[in-house]
Amino acid sequence: MTLDGHRRAYAEQIASTASLTTPGLKDAFAAVPREVFLPPGPWLVVGEGQQPRQTPDADPRHVYENVSVADLYELTGVQSAHTDQKWGWVDLRGSNVERTRQGGYVIALPEPVPLG
């Protein structure tokens, strides 16, 4: 399967799991390359209820599953100044996805809230 095919399958999986109803959000998941937001691979990935595992190489297809790319600080118990895991959204109603003139997407999200 091509990388675009993996992105589309990932978007379908996320849309189904999360019962997405926001128009365009599934297309945004399929269009935005997840790997550009990650450090260079291989990566440590964690699926829900699974043990962390390292991807065998830096092929971005490995991050197109319903997995989190683990934060080394979190896994080792070291406190970090990063807020990535401390703020987020529990309700995405009011979100909006718009296609840009350049063919990309802009996702307008509500203000993040502290996560429990």
DSSP string, 49-86: TS--EE-SSS-GGGGSSSEEE--HHHHHT---S--TTT
Q: Are 12 and 82 in contact (CB under 8 A)?
A: no
Residue 16 within a domain:
no
pLDDT digit string, tens, across residues 8-34:
999 999 889 888 888 788 998 899 888
Residue 71 within a domain:
yes
State the Cα–Cα distance between residues 45 and 55, nearest whole angstrom. 7
Please state the pTM of the whole predicted model. Answer: 0.60
Per the document, the length of the chain is 116
Range of the domain at 72: 38-80
Residue 57 within a domain:
yes
* Positions of the chain with pLDDT under 70: 70-86, 116
Residue 97 within a domain:
no
**What integer pLDDT is reported at residue 79 of this predicted model?**
57
State the Cα–Cα distance between residues 41 and 60, nearest whole angstrom. 8
Residue 111 within a domain:
no
**What integer pLDDT is reported at residue 82 of this predicted model?**
47
State the Cα–Cα distance between residues 40 and 7, nearest whole angstrom. 18
**What integer pLDDT is reported at residue 77 of this predicted model?**
60
**What integer pLDDT is reported at residue 58 of this predicted model?**
92
Number of compact structural domains in the chain: 1
The CB-based long-range contact list for 100-104 (8 Å cut-off, 24+ gap) reads: 104/31, 104/32
**What integer pLDDT is reported at residue 18 of this predicted model?**
85
CA distances in angstroms from 4 to 43, 62, 82, listed in the order given: 20, 13, 31
Residue 65 within a domain:
yes
